[in-house]
Structure 1
Amino acid sequence: MNNPNHRSDQDDDRPKPTRVTPAKPTSNPHHTRTPIRLEDEPLFCAAFASLQEPISDTTFAICLGWCEALAMTHCVIEDHLCLFSAADGDLTMMCPPLPLSPEADHRLAACIEQCFQIMDEANGPDRSEHARIEYVPDEVLLKIQHAMPMKLSTTAMPGDYIYPRQAMVDLAGGDLKGKRKLRNRFEREQQDITVAPITDADLDDCRALLKHWRRAGDERHEGEANERLIGTDILRKRDESFTLCMLEHLHILRLDSLLVRTSGKLVAFTIGQRLTPDQAVIYVEKTDPDADGAPQFIFSKFCEIAFPDVAEINVGDDWGIESLRYTKTSYRPSRMIPKAMLSRTTIPEVMGVEHNMVRTLRTVAIDPNAPLLKPGSGITIRHAVRADANQLVEIEASAFIDDDQFSARQIKRLIDNPRAIVLVAEEQAEGQGRVLAWAVALIRNHRRWRSGRIYGVAVAHPAKGRGIGRTLVQTLIDRLGDAGIQRVYLEVRADNTPAMTLYESLGFEPIAILADYYADEIHGIRMRRGAEAPEQKGEKS
């Protein structure tokens, strides 16, 4: 879902999911795709029953819940259930084709060929590389590789986090000490705690809390994006639509639920379901952002009350969001269930590019008062090419300690990334170009606008103090402005005063303190340039 021409959702008082209309017939009229409806549950359950170990994405509740938010449709091809999504302008598959009978396995290759034909027809002849199959569990991946050897490229996706159920109930041990303290403090300090399943009388309170959760998240995580460079505000809006669907169909889908009230006020609710006899999956957990300890309390209680006889709890994947990955990892999963994405060509390296690096400097970073380079300085700013990678590795070694450097492979991925701007500063010496510094900006999509992120700046030690770093950052800002992007973010270590001074001189201002952003006790500062709302800057939704 990397297309920047994503759909824009309207931010009114209550989300109104886009109506999913039946897809246009393909060249084969029997393959007309239709939205998912409640009466489709037996069909989906028959297909999911073919999996020995289901993943969090292969339940009917998940598919129905995400149908509106992700513009999902389905059809049957070669006796396989095929699930498509058009959420971001491209038609893709949201899970691999799954057989509806044991005899269908030998028709898997023909089914996949027809699925790619359907995606190509929808996406157009110039966008065939956008067709892909996502959320492929290992057991199906092996079947596809056997049926279509050497034909599809595989890219890893975030996997499902699996926890021992009893460990989540007890929150015992040193690794979970912090979670246990927060849960116990919530129990100790909150007045008149009540815990109960969600009823129809609770739905309005749940919707109000959901709205508060999304708006608080949009404010707290302003400018954040996942590893596909999709703004987390987009993901929260879609999650809100999904959660509303789960609340609406809570009893029809026979879902388990729990809510927590303190002195009558709703502070948390959660929804899940048994996935297998030994494993339960949690679809929704929403808490009041001001209720410290509520997430730990309701998660532990839900595992205890709703699923007393399962061995494992599946909480799904992390959507490629760094902060969500940190949270789910902090509960110490016992294992992960891998997922993959399949395509006919190698997917451009957008996934996995954006992450946090400590970036410890060997020396003082840059002179914050150095002027911009002037014409005639002998230094040229240009876009990087793959042949620059070895020189950029040397610059990284000159600027940062070993563990904090970009590798040649990471640098080449950034240069190849269609959503990255990679610049180098080159000086001519003895008839040859010598790269002195480099800088990277990433372009991310949000609900009504796009933003840029200054992702990295490195200047070779001998070239410091000449204004090269300042010039690279200013050029990145200019390039982003040429693309219509006025709001630019960056993160910097809280103890890197010279860098903060430089960024402030270029128009950035601190907007948030990021506790433990880089590692334990290594805090960050999020800074922003372009404080006016994007709509006022003339950017289109």
Structure 2
Amino acid sequence: MTALPAYPGCRPLELADRELFAGRFAALQPRVSELTFAGLYLFRHAHDYRLAALGDTLLIFGSGYGGDPYVLPPLGGDVRGAVARLLADGLALYGADDRFVERQLTGLAVELTEDRDNFDYLYLRRELAELPGNRFHKKRNRISYFEARHAYRVDRYAAGYRDGCLALTEEWRRVRGDLDSPSLRLETAATAEALQLADQLGLAGVVVTVEGVVKAFALGERLNDETAVCHFEKADPFMDGLYQLVDREFCRLAFPDCTYVNREQDLGEPNLRKSKLSYQPVELVRKFRVTRP
């Protein structure tokens, strides 16, 4: 990470910090997918996440894949004061949504830049669990294609499936081909750690097996009181319809009391954007980069 101005107690993120975040996230009710403890912890190496304090306000510093430093929306305490200090120090604020802009940035001299590639896709969970009507007939057809060719089983993720999910993750990386890609290695490592620490991080999900072999899984966590977020989804790419099936089953079984599911961003990848839009999001959760004018 590029050198930061001095902030009290700046240090790497640790697993024990989960309790430190719990009350702050409960009060904030975040809508941005980055603002979960598991998401921060599992991608702490990818983005060099670090914690610091500014009075009673918790700061989360990170860096993009290109090395540019940023800070996520401050948590607790004097948020407006913290934002003013951070911007004065030349830092950019990443991940501010509309609600944060309205509540914390009104009246401040700031420049807002929409980050479309990182907008989160928000869906009605029940729609993705049931895939009703003509809008979803192609998804249902893909699932029917899979079901007609494979005898399968769906279970909630548990430790007994860990090794099978890890093996599938490694196969997913192999099929992707570019083993020297830093982002691919980081994604694989984060997925593996999520599988190993699911209970400690509060992750839940589903597993699909075919003839006793794990062929797909999805893992996520609660983002706020009414929204779940899916962080990881892997499936055998040679089984047509399996991705649609595991997506449906995650939405059906993992967080049945949630109204919405956040399926994160498309990162500007055209095929991923097309896929996410095809699931009929009810909202794109806008994110802004905030800087001084």
Structure-2-length-normalised TM-score:
0.89
CA distance in 2, matches of 1:113, 1:344: 6
Residues of 2 paired with 1:91 and 1:205: CA distance? 37
Q: Note if contact 1:165-1:312 (Cα within 8 Å) is conserved in structure 2.
A: yes
1:106 & 1:181 partners in 2: Cα distance?
A: 50
Q: CA deviation at 1:251?
A: 0.8
Which residue identity is paired with 1:95? L
1:107 matched to which residue of 2? 81
Amino acid at match of 1:289: P
Which one of 194, 204, 210 corresponds to residue 153 of structure 2? 194
The equivalent of 1:160 in structure 2 is 120
**Shift of residue 43, structure 1, vs aligned partner:** 2.1
Residue in 2 that maps onto 1:493: none
Q: Tell me, what secondary structure is at the counterpart of 1:280?
A: strand
Larger Rg, first or second structure (1 or 2): 1
Indicate the SS of the match to 2:265.
coil
Q: State the Cα deviation string for residues 440-487 of structure 1 (Å, max 9, x = none).
A: xxxxxxxxxxxxxxxxxxxxxxxxxxxxxxxxxxxxxxxxxxxxxxxx
The aligned counterpart of 2:173 is 214
Runs of 4+ in structure 1 deviating by more than 6 angstroms, as ranges, are: none
Paired residue secondary structure (1:251): helix
Matches within 5 A, 1:228-267: 233-267=181-215
TM-score after normalising by structure 1: 0.50
Distance 1:171 1:36, change over 3 A: same
Distance of aligned partners of 1:312 and 1:87 in 2 relative to their CA distance in 1, 3 Å threshold: closer
Partners in 2 of 1:61 and 1:314 — Cα distance? Answer: 15
3-state SS of 1:310 partner: coil
Letter in 1 for 2:148: R
Match of 1:335 in 2: 283
Structure 1 counterpart of 2:133, which letter?
G
Q: Which amino acid aligns with 1:165?
A: R
Distance in 1, matches of 2:123 and 2:112, equals: 30
- The equivalent of 1:420 in structure 2 is none
* Alignment counterpart, residue 31 of structure 2, candidates 31, 54, 62: 54
Q: Once the 2 structures are TM-superposed, how far is the Cα of residue 107 of structure 1 from its aligned partner?
A: 2.2
SS at match of 1:186: helix
Equivalents in 2 of 1:86, 1:340: separation in Å? 16
Q: Structure 1 CA distance, aligned partners of 2:61 and 2:135?
A: 40
Q: Which runs of 5+ in 2 are unaligned?
A: none
Q: Aligned partners of 1:89 and 1:185: how far apart in 2?
A: 41
- Mapped to 1, the partners of 2:256 and 2:64 lie a distance apart of 37
Task: State the distance in 1 between where 2:229 and 2:74 align.
Answer: 22
> What is residue 84 of structure 1 aligned with on the other side?
61
How far apart, in 2, do the equivalents of 1:174 and 1:235 lie?
A: 37
Q: In the alignment, what sits opposite 1:71?
A: 48
Structure 2: distance between partners of 1:339 and 1:323: 21
Task: Measure the CA separation in 1 of the matches of 2:183 and 2:241.
Answer: 24
- Structure 1 residues 86 and 162: alpha-carbon distance in aligned structure 2, compared to 1, 3 A threshold: closer
Q: Distance in 2 between matches of 1:44 and 1:91?
A: 25
1:69 deviates by 2.0
Q: Decide whether the 8 Å contact of 1:260 with 1:268 is kept in 2.
A: yes
**8 Å CA contact 1:82, 1:93 repeated in 2:** no
Task: Please give the per-residue CA displacement for 1:163-186, whole angstroms capped at 9, x wherever unaligned.
Answer: 111211221222211110111221
Alpha-carbon distance between aligned partners in 1 of 2:256 and 2:112, rounded to the nearest angstrom = 41
| Structural mapping, 1:389-538, within 5 Å | none
With CA pairs under 8 Å and 6+ residues apart, which has the higher RCO, 1 or 2? 2
Q: 1:37 Cα deviation (Å)?
A: 1.0
Give the equivalent residue in structure 2 for 1:278: 226
**C-alpha distance in structure 1 between counterparts of 2:261 and 2:132, whole Å:** 16
Counterparts of 1:326 and 1:27, CA distance in 2: 40
Deviations 1:326-370 (A, max 9, x none): 11011111111111112336xxxxxxxxxxxxxxxxxxxxxxxxx
Determine the C-alpha separation between the residues in 1 that align with 2:100 and 2:177.
Answer: 36
Q: Which amino acid letter does the alignment assign opposite residue 270 of structure 2?
A: E
- 1:139 aligned partner: 99
Is 2:18 the partner of 1:41?
yes
